[in-house]
Structure 1
Amino acid sequence: MKLTVIGGCGSRSLMLAKCLAQHAEDLDITDVVFMDIDKERVRVFGSMVREVFSRIAPYVQYLCTTNEKEAVMEADFVITTIRAGKEESRIIDERVALKNGVIGQETTGVGGFAMALRSIPTLIYYCRLIGEYSNPNVMVFNFTNPAGLVTQALRNQGYSFVYGICDAPSGFLRQVAALYDLEYFDLKVQLIGLNHLSYFTSVKKDGREILSEILKDSRLYEHTDMRYFEPKLAQHIGCMLNEYLYYFYYREKALRNIQKIGETRGERIKKINDHMLKELGQYDAARDFDKMLEIYSEHIYMRESNYMQGETSVARDEACIPRFELYTKDEGGYAGVALAFMKAKITGTKGEMILCVPNHGTVDWLEDSDIIEVSCNISKNGATPKKGLYELPECAKQLIRTVKCYERLAAEAIVERNTEKAIDALMINPLVNSYSLAVKLLGEYLEVYKEYTGGWTL
């Protein structure tokens, strides 16, 4: 079986390689291709990934390439994890937004829209290649942000082999499980919403509902990513919250914090990634791999330790910060999400997981074709949203409806290069909520990203 990673030589490359290598034998993965268009990252990270497979799964045929067609040729599974425009574009997204007095976070609001301007055309190109050259039953796991919006656009174009994945829900569940000395799979959950805008509406242990107990546990707000929210808010809504809801429920605080520190998340990440690549580039993976692992682990820790700290002014708990070690048991991440689905598809093993898939009647207050993030039953037949009561207060439903309407319009606007739909999308987004700002922001982003939008102008 062949698995291809498009955009495989980024900062998460070794975490992904470790997960794939540890599970390769169980899933009969015989060929792995990491494809990237950045030649220096291919040289550095590609050689490190080669060493990961050499040490953990030497029987896997590994290739790192810049050749797109070669990468997807006869692939059975594809993971897409690209950042079109690299970190430089992320900084532009953030700075244009801040200049206009709005949040530019890369997956929500105008930052997400700007990233989608680049991500959607790029992934449509790759999906065409996959449709032409990969195996007929290929499955694509899209991790490219904004994952929900991108998956919506790709599904709208008929690419039904695409599933959206995100490691935020499973990572958070691990934090919650650790509070009670449990494994995350000991908890049976129901989650509903959109990618980076979702709510845990049920948490059961041994068939007993324990969500209300968890919400009253002070440790939840000290040792997990629920630290960004006041207990009163979570208890009022009656759910555990995806951390990105902070940007909606504390919008003015997030904006003020970002403006106060004077540095965006993208700028911090670029500094860390540039320094890491420069240091790693001085070594040869065949001779100096252990030293390179130390450098990589140090920089990944640095990257994760200040996650959302600038926006929230709240530091992460040490237990929430991953330490990369090559030989420890893999904790999953987005590769783990993809591999769990692959296992069900290949072996017929049934299970549950959280994915971005079409609504298909899961809730009657969204359209059937809407891509939602939801708890799913998985099997060899694919993923089916779990049916049941997803009890949410009306205020949460309305936020989901509004942002989903934005995503529908944005997905159509970017594919069609439709100015009116783009303005409507931004105008109704809760983090913009202004016609005049929508017009101004759209004009600025279209001017910057002509390379991706085919010359689309206002």
Structure 2
Amino acid sequence: MSKELKPQSIVIAGGGSTFTPEIILMLLDNAETLPIRTLKLYDNDPERQKIVADAVEIILSERAPHIEYLATTDPKEAFTDIDFVMAHIRVGKYAMREQDEKIPLKYGVIGQETCGPGGIAYGMRSIGGVLELVDYMERYSPDAWMLNYSNPAAIVAEATRKLRPNSKILNICDMPIGLESRMAKVLGLESRKEMDVRYYGLNHFGWWTDIHDKNGNDLMPKLKEYISKHGFSLEGLGKDPKENDPSWMDTYRKAKDVYQLDPYTLPNTYLKYYFFPDEAAEHSDPNFTRANEVMAGREKRVFGECMRITEMKTAKDTKLEVGAHASYIVDLARAIAYNSHERMLLIVPNNGSIVNFDPTAMVEIPCIVGSNGPEPLTQGEIPRFQKGLMEQQVAVEKLVVEAWVEKSYQKLWQAFATSKIIPNAKVAKDILDNMIEANKDFWPELH
């Protein structure tokens, strides 16, 4: 099959990420349907990237020696002659994520990577980094597409809509994909691809409204019955691996309480932070947050394995895993490269897809994807409950981007005060002032 398909040139921006090895393994696993001629890693942290890059070089030499490979910190080298940028950068790395999580907790507010004050702080750091990647791509490979899954996707998507409106960038998130994979297990299906879904919302802020199998059978009743009892935890089936992080297990279980608010739909798990923010804060350890979990677990595990591969000079017995969720990125690249018209959830300008909602909002909805990009599918009118929640949250996202552009303290305070997660304007100001100090190397200077 690969002989019929034009091989692609890909740069992974954020080459030093702990997710890079699993994305590369996933790309190699899908080489028949997305053949690759060149693979590059790009990062602005050469030491961190080298840990991953040296191991990747060995993996490629053993599994795909025909692929031309380069790891670089030079934007011109990285972005010249490419078809796709796969971007997953983390400006400020885990050290700043730790601040995002711990500063709000001092004020009794949940600190979370993409929601509430933590998400806003991270968004203020991410905007400039993602725009820089877009500009490199347009300068050196103007026909390329950027598939961006850098968080917080909602704020980044609003920034690119507003500041790079004509750029070929698609903002995506694998969180709904992970949940759909769990749904497939509940239903006894082999794959989430056996389901056709309808979904609407903002990133990390959405609802499934309809799920059918390929024969037209309605799968929602069985899913609702299960989720009302177990949430998205698979413990009810005895299938949740013991090594799952405790914070994720809590999140999966909590979906049963979120579901009760609207039993006509199935909720994204992140909604727990908006409906039960005080509970989420109470259950957090202010000395050991999710960032510490990742640094002590995933980062140590992945980097340790990369260094072992480099030392042993072979990856034949590697414990590195293929990123199953990341297969979504392959599906998206293939749809664009080969015009396959795949149906996918993407974050796109609303433009009437949700009839009774802001046309400029960046909404997460199903789209048909081909070589010209996404064609959003109309979702019709949405109920007042979801509409009210989404309007409040989209206001936060737009205020953050306006604050970044205008360097406006006032607008950023308004964004914090508008967030459903923060209890009042004084707490919003206290957290903001603390975060300005912590982010002085990353945020624009506000006035």
Q: TM-score range by the shorter chain?
A: 0.7 to 0.9
Provide the residue aligned with 2:138 in structure 1.
131
Instruction: Assess if the C-alpha contact under 8 Å between 1:443 and 1:457 holds in 2.
Output: no
The CA deviation string for residues 323-352 of structure 1, in whole angstroms up to 9 with x for no partner, is: x2x6xxx63x23x22221221222221221
- Within 2, Cα distance between the matches of 1:390 and 1:214? 24
Greater alpha carbon shift after TM alignment, 233-242 vs 337-346:
233-242
- Within 2, Cα distance between the matches of 1:33 and 1:52? 14
Structure 2: where are the runs of 5+ without partners?
Answer: 1-7, 236-250
Alignment size in residue pairs: 420
Q: Is 1:269 equivalent to 2:278 in the alignment?
A: no
Q: 2:216 aligns with which of 191, 207, 220?
A: 207
Provide the residue aligned with 2:5 in structure 1.
none
Instruction: Assess if the C-alpha contact under 8 Å between 2:88 and 2:150 holds in 1.
Output: yes
Instruction: Assess if the C-alpha contact under 8 Å between 2:145 and 2:169 holds in 1.
Output: yes
Provide the residue aligned with 1:256 in structure 2.
282
Provide the residue aligned with 1:116 in structure 2.
123
Q: 1:223 aligns with which of 207, 213, 234?
A: 234
SS of residue matched to 1:208: coil
Provide the residue aligned with 2:91 in structure 1.
84
Equivalences for residues 33-432 of structure 1 within 5 A: 33-134=40-141, 136-159=142-165, 160-182=167-189, 183-205=191-213, 206-217=215-226, 218=229, 221-223=232-234, 226-230=252-256, 233-234=259-260, 236-259=262-285, 262-273=287-298, 275-276=300-301, 279-280=304-305, 283=308, 285=310, 287-290=312-315, 293-294=318-319, 297=320, 324=321, 331=324, 333-334=325-326, 336-389=327-380, 391=382, 393-432=383-422
Greater alpha carbon shift after TM alignment, 119-128 vs 268-277:
268-277
> What's the CA shift for 1:110?
0.4
The CA deviation string for residues 302-337 of structure 1, in whole angstroms up to 9 with x for no partner, is: xxxxxxxxxxxxxxxxxxxxxx2x6xxx63x23x22
Equivalences for residues 5-16 of structure 1 within 5 A: 5-16=12-23
Q: What residue identity is the alignment partner of 1:148?
A: A
Instruction: Assess if the C-alpha contact under 8 Å between 1:351 and 1:378 holds in 2.
Output: yes
SS of residue matched to 1:258: coil
- Within 2, Cα distance between the matches of 1:235 and 1:439? 30
The CA deviation string for residues 221-249 of structure 1, in whole angstroms up to 9 with x for no partner, is: 54187522236834734211111111112
> What's the CA shift for 1:128?
1.7
Instruction: Assess if the C-alpha contact under 8 Å between 1:198 and 1:242 holds in 2.
Output: yes
Go from structure 1 to structure 2 and tell me whether the alpha carbon gap of 1:43 and 1:232 turns closer, same or farther (over 3 Å shift): closer
> What's the CA shift for 1:420?
1.8
- Within 1, Cα distance between the matches of 2:346 and 2:138? 22
Greater alpha carbon shift after TM alignment, 176-185 vs 351-360:
176-185
Q: What residue identity is the alignment partner of 1:457?
A: L
> What's the CA shift for 1:254?
0.7
- Within 1, Cα distance between the matches of 2:303 and 2:339? 44
Greater alpha carbon shift after TM alignment, 64-73 vs 231-240:
231-240
The CA deviation string for residues 94-141 of structure 1, in whole angstroms up to 9 with x for no partner, is: 11111122111010000001111111112222222222112x222111
Go from structure 1 to structure 2 and tell me whether the alpha carbon gap of 1:161 and 1:174 turns closer, same or farther (over 3 Å shift): same
Instruction: Assess if the C-alpha contact under 8 Å between 1:376 and 1:384 holds in 2.
Output: yes
- Within 2, Cα distance between the matches of 1:10 and 1:89? 15
- Within 1, Cα distance between the matches of 2:261 and 2:102? 35
Go from structure 1 to structure 2 and tell me whether the alpha carbon gap of 1:33 and 1:209 turns closer, same or farther (over 3 Å shift): same
- Within 2, Cα distance between the matches of 1:186 and 1:278? 35
- Within 2, Cα distance between the matches of 1:428 and 1:235? 21
Q: What residue identity is the alignment partner of 2:275?
A: Y
Provide the residue aligned with 2:241 in structure 1.
none
TM-score w.r.t. structure 1 length? 0.85
Q: What residue identity is the alignment partner of 1:448?
A: A
Structure 1: where are the runs of 5+ without partners?
Answer: 298-323
Provide the residue aligned with 1:304 in structure 2.
none
Go from structure 1 to structure 2 and tell me whether the alpha carbon gap of 1:220 and 1:85 turns closer, same or farther (over 3 Å shift): closer
Go from structure 1 to structure 2 and tell me whether the alpha carbon gap of 1:248 and 1:220 turns closer, same or farther (over 3 Å shift): closer
- Within 2, Cα distance between the matches of 1:244 and 1:278? 28
TM-score w.r.t. structure 2 length? 0.87
Aligned sequence identity (%): 26
Go from structure 1 to structure 2 and tell me whether the alpha carbon gap of 1:430 and 1:77 turns closer, same or farther (over 3 Å shift): same
Q: What residue identity is the alignment partner of 1:403?
A: Q
- Within 2, Cα distance between the matches of 1:381 and 1:403? 30
> What's the CA shift for 1:61?
0.8
- Within 2, Cα distance between the matches of 1:362 and 1:170? 21
Instruction: Assess if the C-alpha contact under 8 Å between 1:353 and 1:377 holds in 2.
Output: yes
Instruction: Assess if the C-alpha contact under 8 Å between 1:112 and 1:146 holds in 2.
Output: yes
> What's the CA shift for 1:219?
6.1
Coordinate RMSD, CA, aligned: 2.3
The CA deviation string for residues 61-107 of structure 1, in whole angstroms up to 9 with x for no partner, is: 11111222211123211011111111110111111111122111010
Go from structure 1 to structure 2 and tell me whether the alpha carbon gap of 1:371 and 1:223 turns closer, same or farther (over 3 Å shift): same
The CA deviation string for residues 267-308 of structure 1, in whole angstroms up to 9 with x for no partner, is: 2212235533674475352734448833xx4xxxxxxxxxxx
The CA deviation string for residues 3-36 of structure 1, in whole angstroms up to 9 with x for no partner, is: 1111022111111001112223433421111112
